[in-house]
Amino acid sequence: MASDVENIQVKREGTSVSIEIKVPKDAIRKKEEEILRLLGQELKIPGFRPGKAPKHLLLRRYGEENFWEEVRENLIQDWLNRTLKELDLHPLTTPKVKTLEFVKGEALSFQAEFEILPEFTIPEDLKISVEEPPPAEVREEEVEGVLNDLRREAATLVPKDTAAEEGDIVHIKRGEHIWEGQATASKPIGKQLLGVKAGTRVVLSDEEGNAEEFEVVGVYRLVLPSPEETARHYGKSSWEELKEEVRKELLARAEARRRDELRRRALDALAEALNIPVPPGFLAETVEEEMKRFPKTEEVRAKVEEAVALRLRREILIHRLAEEKNLEPDPEEVRKLAAQEGEEEEVIHNRLLFERTADWILANLRREE
């Protein structure tokens, strides 16, 4: 398609954009011929080879209104996409399209309204305050919890013919799937497993009252290894060495969480200083999508809207800052990390973008306290 800037009118107001497009007559005729050719290949008209049936027979078979509706929709999609590309516009919201005029084979004009990212610049002398999160720490009960889990993972399962007692492991089956549960009075499902025997059937109900019948394929006594046996199982010379290894790992995770919290605070502080707006339509669309996962109450909606607005403002800042400061991750680095961590490339890309933009803010804009 050749450029037809004279057929396009653009109005911008903040983050809102309205485009009016008048499609040239020759483009309408070409699209009409294109769709007729496709119909000629797809529709079987008795007495005519594919592509040889006359137009009036094709329209009679397909439906004239259906044909012109397809012409109109195809033209709108083609010209909207082409215009967005020519003007380098990237809609955040789904464009709302309204046909202004459509004369079959002669004229088509339409309007598309949508929202785009807000524009902003970072003043050269800007400095922001970013409060440090509390120091990373690990509680003793966290260490003990992980050690208990490690002992459990290294435990031996001894089959038993008697009924499941507190702490026993129960294997249940439905169809081709087998699940493992623990008989325990402290959990709703676990409580229902107390007293079951291998070879019997049991009906389990969840907290919402949904019930399913399962076959009990095995009941096992959980034999935990001693602390020293557990340490050796994980390649450590002693229980204390394993405990120290667990503590270091938990501390490293806590420090990573603290660092990410600092990064979020840096992004929020800069977004606040620049007064970055979240386009209202973009916010509304995102909130509606998020609300599909939550109860439909005003209280929940208010909390979801607040959280979404905060997240979107960060994302807008990250996007613009990455462009301006050339902070986009190298695709090869993203691929390598995704392969190493067994994670989706998009997840890795977004994480690196978050870290790099926030770290840039901390290194260049943070006021010394």
What pTM does this model have? Answer: 0.74
Q: What is the mean pLDDT of residues 95-122?
A: 91
Contact 264, 282 (CB under 8 A): no
Whose structure tokens read 């084979």? 105
Closest Cα to residue 283, out of 122, 112, 117? 117
Instruction: Give the helix/strand (H/E) hosting 108.
Output: strand 107-115
Instruction: For residue 316, tell me if it sits in a domain.
Output: yes
pLDDT at residue 62, rounded to an integer:
60
Q: Rounded to whole angstroms, how far apart are CA atoms 346 and 198? A: 45
Instruction: For residue 303, tell me if it sits in a domain.
Output: yes
* Domain co-membership, 217 together with 253: no
Structural domain for 24, as ranges: 5-115
> Which two three-digit tokens encode residue 164?
């499941």
Of 115, 142, 177, at which residue does a domain stop?
A: 115
pLDDT at residue 138, rounded to an integer:
97
* Domain co-membership, 166 together with 201: yes
* Domain co-membership, 101 together with 181: no
* Domain co-membership, 14 together with 97: yes
Domain count, the chain: 3
Of 189, 223, 257, at which residue does a domain stop?
A: 223
The yes-or-no verdict on residue 2 having pLDDT over 50 is no
Distances (CA, A) of 72 to 79, 290, 363: 11, 33, 53
Instruction: For residue 128, tell me if it sits in a domain.
Output: no
* Domain co-membership, 267 together with 320: yes
Instruction: For residue 282, tell me if it sits in a domain.
Output: yes
Instruction: For residue 42, tell me if it sits in a domain.
Output: yes
Q: What is the mean pLDDT of residues 301-312?
A: 94
Q: Tell me what the pLDDT averaged over the chain comes to.
A: 90
**Model confidence pLDDT, tens digit, residues 266-293:** 999 999 999 999 999 999 999 999 999 9
* Domain co-membership, 17 together with 58: yes
| Residue with the larger pLDDT of the pair 241 and 294 | 241
| DSSP-assigned letter for residue 236 | -
The yes-or-no verdict on residue 40 having pLDDT over 70 is no
| Residue with the larger pLDDT of the pair 137 and 122 | 137
pLDDT band at 109 (very low <50, low <70, confident <90, very high): very high
pLDDT band at 3 (very low <50, low <70, confident <90, very high): very low
> Which two three-digit tokens encode residue 230?
């557990």
Instruction: For residue 40, tell me if it sits in a domain.
Output: yes
The yes-or-no verdict on residue 47 having pLDDT over 70 is no
Own/partner pairs, 236-244, CB within 8 angstroms, 24+ separation? 242/147, 242/150, 243/143, 243/147
**Model confidence pLDDT, tens digit, residues 194-226:** 999 999 999 999 888 889 999 999 999 999 999
Instruction: For residue 161, tell me if it sits in a domain.
Output: yes
Helices (H), the chain: 25-42, 55-62, 64-86, 140-153, 188-193, 227-233, 239-274, 280-291, 298-325, 331-341, 345-364
- The rounded percent of the chain whose pLDDT value lies above 90 is 76
Instruction: For residue 304, tell me if it sits in a domain.
Output: yes
Phi-psi region at 199: left, alpha or beta (left = phi > 0; alpha = psi -120 to 50): left
| DSSP-assigned letter for residue 26 | H
Contact 354, 318 (CB under 8 A): yes
Angle, nearest 10°, between helix axes 64-86 and 25-42? 130
Question: Amino acid identity, residue 219?
Answer: V
pLDDT at residue 45, rounded to an integer:
65
* Domain co-membership, 257 together with 360: yes
pLDDT at residue 206, rounded to an integer:
86
CATH number of the CATH domain containing 42: 3.30.70.1050
| DSSP codes, 292-327 | TTS---HHHHHHHHHHHHHHHHHHHHHHHHHHHHT-
> Which two three-digit tokens encode residue 212?
């399913």
